[in-house]
Each structure stands twice: as C-alpha cells, then as structure tokens.
Chains A and B, each alone.
Chain A
Amino acid sequence: MRYKMQTAELIWEIKNNIEKIGRSLKVIEVCGTHTVSIYKNGFHTLFEGYIDFISGPGCPVCVTHEGYIDRLVELSSEWTIYTFGDLLKVPGSSKSLSQARANGGKIKVMYSPVDAVEHLENNEKVIFAAVGFETTAPAFALSLEKVIEKGLKNVKFACELKTIDEPLKSLLQNHIRVDGIILPGHVATVIGVDSFKFVEGFKVASVISGFEGYDILLSLLSITQDILNEDFTVKNEYKRVVKKEGNVIAKGYIEKYFERTSAFFRGLGLIPGGGLKIKDEFREYSIDMSYDNTKQKDSLCRCADVLTGKIKPFECPLFEKVCTPISPKGACMVSQEGSCNAYFRYGKWKGR
C-alpha cells in the first residue's frame, strides 16, 4: 500500500520537512492543469510562508505568439480554421479568432482533430491550428495520417506544436532558480520518465505528478523529502499512468510525421528545438505560418514576466483592473489554465 497517509497527515509532513530544511521553497509547475489544481485546492494559501508556487510556461495557449493568431485570422477569410476552444480568445495584434469569426471569418471549434478529419468532405479547404505539447502532438499526427489515407488535398496543418524539454532547460538555465519542479503528468504519459532525466543535471528536486489534489500533495512530499536527502533523481508519482519509456506507439507517431524546429515561447523568446514542424516529406500538408517573432504588440501586459516567475499575476498593472477572464488582455488571462486566470478565480492577493 503506497498511499497510506491521510490528507492532514500529508500536509503536516510536508510542512514539517520544510521546517527541517529551514527556509521556504520555490516550486514551479509547468502544466496549466497543475496550476488550476494548486489554486483551486487552495494550496497557495495553505502553504503560505512555506512554498512559493510559480506557474511556468507550460500552457500552450499562454506561450503562443500573437503573430500566429494574426496569420490564422488572415487565412480565415479563405480557409476554414479548425481550432481548440482554448485558442479562440487569445489576442492577436488586431483581432482574436473569436473576433475574426464575428466578422465573418470561417472558424470552427473542434474537440478532437481525428474526429474532425473523419467528417471532412473532399473539396473542403481546411486548416488545423495545431497547438499543444507532446500530449497533443500524437492526435495531430493521427489526423495527418487520416488526411493522407482519405486523399484529402485541401487540408493543411498550421503547426505550432511545442516540446517541453528545451524550454524547461532554458527556464532553469537563464530565468529562474527553484527548489522543486512539478513535472507535467500527461506530457510524461507520452514521452516517459526517462525523457526528463536532463532535469537531474540542474540539482533540482523533480517529480512527475497527477492532477488531483492528493497527487499534488504527494508530489510536494516527494520534493521536500528529496531536498532533505539531496536526491535529485526524477520521481514518478503518477505511476498509474506514466511509464518509464512513455507511450512508445505515440512517440513513434510523433517521430514519423514531425521533426524538431525552433519555436517562440512568450517569456522565453525563440527556443531552438522547442517546437515541432511537419517533416519535409509531408510538407504539402503544411501551411507557411512564418511571422515576425521579434515584434510584440506594445502593451502593459506582463504575461512574459508571470510565466518566468519574475512577478505574481496581481503585480501586473492590468490585473483585475482592465484584464479579467471576461475581457482578457493577455494570454495568461485568456486560458482557463493560465496563471492569471487561475489567480483571478481562486487566488488571494492584497486588497481583496
């Protein structure tokens, strides 16, 4: 029986370990679903003074450049854009996809790209907005395979898929010093425990975590024990799903259709090897999405600093004043999994 501690005992044990360490800890999570779980369960207040939680760049919507949105808006006059709902309200430099749709742009929300392909007709001109990390990449690889099988000639993929390892390396090398990392459970489901071995070189306690409140607590216990024992090997708390080698079939699909490329991450800039693009042999299914990633819309939005842990959401001048989930000004407020959005809904900050 691995799980023998009751919740209260677990919380006590975590705090006790931190008292033994003798200082408060900085813990970063790099998955939006973890962000929501931490705030929703009130762990940021429960461990106040013990753990400072930082939300890293692990929500694909939050790190997407506005130039990508602008290209999709532009293309939506001629092509039907299939997108996940998460992307709809992300501000472009002039319009979001949602606003473009209101102005007559052809934009459809999909639940699954694989299901969407099954319902496409031969002559439909469709672009799939392929956004996500390695969890989502196999879904787009399967969709591309189905497009090829069906012989659809007018279907393209606007590939903006991301990988987790390179941005995480950049974050740990150049941006932030943390004591512990809660690693993304569903990315790990695909790429496996071994793909995170590189984290060990940073001498940081790390653990692959599930998403329930109890999972987060077990992961925090693991981080505090590892700091006490100076053990920096990657741990896997999400054993019920994540395997050492990950999902070999899913990884095979990614390797068959995609290859590494540079990718822009809000807060981190251009990361070599941080993205996936469609391989040359399948380039007829790819659409050119190049945009100038050096240009940023002039805005007071501090999303980039939030994503790298430099400031808390409430320290942004726009937060709660003009930037809210109903009228978001930045990507971290747009996404249900963004740290500003989670902070707005479940957070506690001065003056409230």
Chain B
Amino acid sequence: MCLGYPAKVIEIFEDKKALVEYLGVKKMVNIALLKNVSIGDYILIHSGIAIEKIDQKEAEEIEKLFGEVQDANS
C-alpha cells in the first residue's frame, strides 16, 4: 500500500504536473508536494503523486549494491 517507485523527471508542466520515466515507462504525475523540481531529478512516486526528491549521490552509492542481494538469491 505504501509502495513507492523512483522515477526520472523528463518534462515539467504548469498545474504542478511532470512527465516522469521509470523502467522505460512514461507517466504524468502530480508534483504539488515538492519544491524546485528540475528536469533530470529523481523523485519518489506514490499513488500518482511525488512525495519526495531522491538524493542522487546517496542513491547512486547504494544502487551498486542492490544487485548483490538478488544475485545471492538466484
């Protein structure tokens, strides 16, 4: 229920909307809960709404290690 997914901002529109991309899928989301969203930012989406910007540096560091757990399981 509290599932969220990280998506990259592709385009920003008036009326607090943005076009985002996640795993190759593009979708319009609401960005009313965020300040200063720019194209290229990664944001966390829940129920069609961006609930937070993702700290890029932190995300890149940990992302390298995500695959490891999956590999250990396979």
Residues of A within 8 A of B (CB): 1-3, 6-8, 31-33, 41-42, 59-61, 84, 86, 111-115, 131-133, 135-136, 138-139, 142, 184, 186-187, 189-190, 210, 212-215, 217, 239-243, 247, 249-250, 253, 335, 337
* Closest residue of A by beta carbon distance from B30: A114
Chain B nearest CB from A187 CB (Å) reads 6
Q: Which residues of B contact A210 (CB under 8 A)?
A: 62
Q: Confirm or deny: B12 has a beta carbon within 8 angstroms of a beta carbon on chain A.
A: no
Q: Confirm or deny: B23 has a beta carbon within 8 angstroms of a beta carbon on chain A.
A: no
Residues in B42-74 with C-beta less than 8 Å from chain A:
44, 46-49, 51-52, 54-55, 58-59, 61-62, 64-66, 68-70, 72-73
- Contact between chains at B68 and A6 (CB < 8 Å): yes
* Closest residue of B by beta carbon distance from A216: B69
Q: Which residues of A contact B49 (CB under 8 A)?
A: 112, 114, 138-139, 142
Q: Confirm or deny: B3 has a beta carbon within 8 angstroms of a beta carbon on chain A.
A: yes
Given the complex of chains A and B, what is the CA–CA distance between A86 and B47 in angstroms? Answer: 12
Partner of A186, one of B30, B32, B46, B69: B46
Q: Confirm or deny: B40 has a beta carbon within 8 angstroms of a beta carbon on chain A.
A: no
Interface residues on B, range: 20 to 34
Q: Give 5 CB contacts A-B under 8 Å.
A: A31-B2, A33-B2, A114-B30, A132-B1, A335-B1
- Contact between chains at A135 and B58 (CB < 8 Å): no
Given the interface pairs A135-B46, A138-B49, A247-B51, the reply to whether A189 lies near B4 with Cβ below 8 Å is yes
Q: Which residues of A contact B72 (CB under 8 A)?
A: 7-8
Given the complex of chains A and B, what is the CA–CA distance between A337 and B1 in angstroms? Answer: 8
Q: Which residues of B contact A213 (CB under 8 A)?
A: 66, 69-70, 73
Q: Which residues of B contact A243 (CB under 8 A)?
A: 52
Given the complex of chains A and B, what is the CA–CA distance between A51 and B48 in angstroms? Answer: 36
- Contact between chains at B2 and A139 (CB < 8 Å): no
- Contact between chains at A32 and B1 (CB < 8 Å): yes
Chain B nearest CB from A307 CB (Å) reads 14
- Contact between chains at B55 and A7 (CB < 8 Å): no
Q: Which residues of B contact A184 (CB under 8 A)?
A: 2
* Closest residue of A by beta carbon distance from B56: A240
- Contact between chains at B73 and A250 (CB < 8 Å): no
- Contact between chains at B51 and A135 (CB < 8 Å): yes
